[in-house]
Amino acid sequence: MRVEYVKNTEDARRLWEMVFIEDSKEYLDFYFSNVTDRNKVLGAYEEDELIGMLHLNPYQVCLNHEDANPEEGTSGLVYYVVAVATHPGYRRKGVMRRLLDEAEKVALEDGAKALVLLPEDERYYRPFGYSFVSEQFNTTVESGLYGEYVGGANAYNVDADTADDHELEYKEFRDWMKKHYTPGWFEPEASDGYLNQLYQEIASEGGRIYMVCGNLVALYDGEYLEVRKHWLRRDADTVGSDADDDGNSSAQDGKTRALEFGRLLGMATWLIGLADGRKLVIHEVNEGKLAGVFPYSKRNVYDRRPYMMVKWLDGDSMSGAGAGCTMMGFDETV
C-alpha cells in the first residue's frame, strides 16, 4: 500500500459515493467543482486502485482567544479533515492509520496550527491525539405550542416589520458578513473565497439564507424546518457608542444585550410563523442562544453532545487555549 496525492478526482468521487451514500448528487457536484481545486486529497492505493482517502480542506481561522499567545498573531491555517473513507474490502488493514499519519505530516509541513474533524466515531481518532473542543446543541421545537408569538403579547410582531425579513442573494450575504460578522475563536475569517463557497454549499443542499431582525439564518425547508446555522450581529454599533451619555458602559452593555435578545426573539417568532405547526429543528454550536428563547416544554427535544475534535500541531501557541476548552467556534457548515 502506498499513500500519495489523488490526481484523478473521479476516483475520489466514486469512493465517496460508495462510502457516504447519504450525500446528494447536488452536494457532490458542488464539492468536486468548488472545493477540490484548492484542497489536498490524500489517497491510499493498492496497485492502481484507490482504497482509501482523506481530504484536507484549508481555512484561515481566528486565533484571538483569551488564552492564546498574542505573539502568534490573530489568524492561522487549520485543515478541516473530511471524507475519511476506506473501501469496504480493505477495512481493518491500517488504511486509515496511514492516511491520518500522512495528513499530520502534510499539515506540519504547511505550518497548520491544527487538524479539525467531525467524528463519526470518536474512538477512531482519540488514539491519534484528537480531543473534543466544542459542543452541539440540537433542539427540536414543536412550533404549534407557541401560537403567534414566542414570548407572548410583547414579542416581536412579524407583520409590523417585514422589510428586514427576506432571502439574501450572494452579494447581500457577502456585504452583511463583511460589515457585521466578527469571527470568534477558531471561526473562519470572512474572505471572499470563503463566503462564496459557504453560500454555494448551503444552496447545493437546498438551503437558503435569510436576514431576520438584523441577523442571518441558514434554513432548510422540507417536512420540517431546519436551522443549520445562524450568524448574530457582533458589530460595535449595535446600539451606538460604547457608553451612554454619562459614560456608563454597564448601562450600554445592558442596552446591547436587550437589543440582541429582542432580535433573537424576533427570529424565533418569525421561524414559528414559517414552520406553521411543523417541527422546528435548530442546530447551534457551544451555546443554545436561539433555542433558548423558546419557553421550555416537555414536548420539545433538547439534545446536547460533544461536537468537533481537534489535534493541536502548534503546542506553544495553542495548548493553553486547547487544554480543556470546549468553546471552539468551527463547525460542520463552515
| 7-26 per-position pLDDT tens digit | 999 999 999 999 999 999 99
Query: Over the stretch 33-48, which tens digit does the pLDDT of each residue have?
Result: 999 999 999 999 999 9
Mean pLDDT of 209-217: 94
**Helix, strand, coil tally for the chain in percent (to 5):** 35, 25, 40
3-state secondary structure of 46: strand
| Distance in angstroms (rounded) separating the CA atoms of residues 111 and 127 | 22
More confident residue, 217 or 258: 217
Domains recognised in the chain with CATH numbers: 2-134+307-322 (3.40.630.30), 136-304 (3.40.630)
Query: Over the stretch 156-169, which tens digit does the pLDDT of each residue have?
Result: 444 334 336 789 99
Rounded to 5°, the CA angle 92-95-97 comes to 95
Confidence (pTM): 0.86
Share of the chain above pLDDT 90, in %: 69
Q: Where residue 155 falls among pLDDT bands split at 50, 70, 90?
A: very low
Mean pLDDT of 167-178: 96
CA 284 vs. chain centroid, Å, equals 9
Q: Residue 72 is placed in which grid cell?
A: 502568534
Contact 334, 80 (CB under 8 A): yes
Q: Residue 297 is placed in which grid cell?
A: 416544554
Task: Give the contacts of 172 (CB within 8 A, at least 6 positions apart).
Answer: 211
More confident residue, 146 or 321: 146
- What's the pLDDT score for residue 247? 54
Helix-helix angle 9-19:25-34, to 10 degrees: 150
